[in-house]
Amino acid sequence: MKGYINIDSVKSDVVDKVMDLNKLPYPFKTNSIDEVYMRNILEHLDDPIQVIHEVKRILKASGKLVIIVPHFSCAGCFIPEHKTFWRAGYFRNFLINNKRNSLDNYPLFREMDLKIVFYKGILFWNYLVEFIVNLSKTNQMLYEFNCAFIFPAREVKVEFSPNKRINDYAKREIMTQQLRG
């Protein structure tokens, strides 16, 4: 992609930097990156949660993280190279206003745009299914728990803004509330 540092584990003509994304920390300064675009990456990594934490570290406060992963209902997600399977609802665990965060899963992001994307083309009904599913979080949840294998999705696309504004006092408050629990 033009305008990006293209990273992969295998050298090719479009790769700027060969790097093992399982090896943390990444060789980038804290708060130094404007945007991270991860398409079909997380499902191949050993510890994708730690990778998301690491990406949050290197993102600027005004930065953006875009993640695209295969949806768990997609037939193409069941290949031996995939180590994890993803549903849209899981990404809500990373938000500041999520009441279910644990101490280990400290809220990393303040806002999010989350879409479940469907195959289109001759599957004309998927245009309508995608529209209805993405009308609300409730619709996304109902779809994933009841209809995902009737109308399989292609992928989950999420855009995060980092939660860099939270100060030490707010961190202590969150931890205190969680401990009281």
Q: How many domains does the chain have?
A: 1
**pLDDT tens, position by position, 97-125:** 555 554 355 567 877 899 999 999 888 99
In a domain, 118, yes or no: yes
Per the model's pLDDT, the better-predicted residue between 89 and 70 turns out to be: 70
In a domain, 121, yes or no: yes
pLDDT for the residue 103: 38
In a domain, 105, yes or no: yes
pLDDT for the residue 2: 73
Report helix, strand and coil shares of the chain as percent, to nearest 5: 30, 25, 45
**pLDDT tens, position by position, 17-52:** 999 999 999 999 999 999 999 999 999 999 999 999
Can you give the CATH number for the domain in which 157 is found? 3.40.50
Pick from 88, 102, 106, 181: nearest CA to 143:
88
pLDDT for the residue 169: 44
Is there a contact between 170 and 128 (Cβ–Cβ < 8 Å)?
no
pLDDT for the residue 99: 58
What are all long-range contacts of 8-11, with beta carbons under 8 Å and residues at least 24 apart?
A: none
pLDDT for the residue 177: 63
Residues of the domain holding 93: 7-180
In a domain, 60, yes or no: yes
Query: How many Cα atoms within 13 Å fall on the side-chain side of residue 26?
Result: 25
In a domain, 1, yes or no: no
Per the model's pLDDT, the better-predicted residue between 104 and 96 turns out to be: 96
In a domain, 23, yes or no: yes
**pLDDT tens, position by position, 129-181:** 999 999 999 999 999 999 999 999 999 999 998 876 554 445 555 566 667 65
Beta bridge partners of 7: 17
pLDDT for the residue 101: 52
In a domain, 2, yes or no: no
DSSP collapsed to 3 states, 23-53: CCCCCCCCCCEEEEEEECCHHHCCCHHHHHH
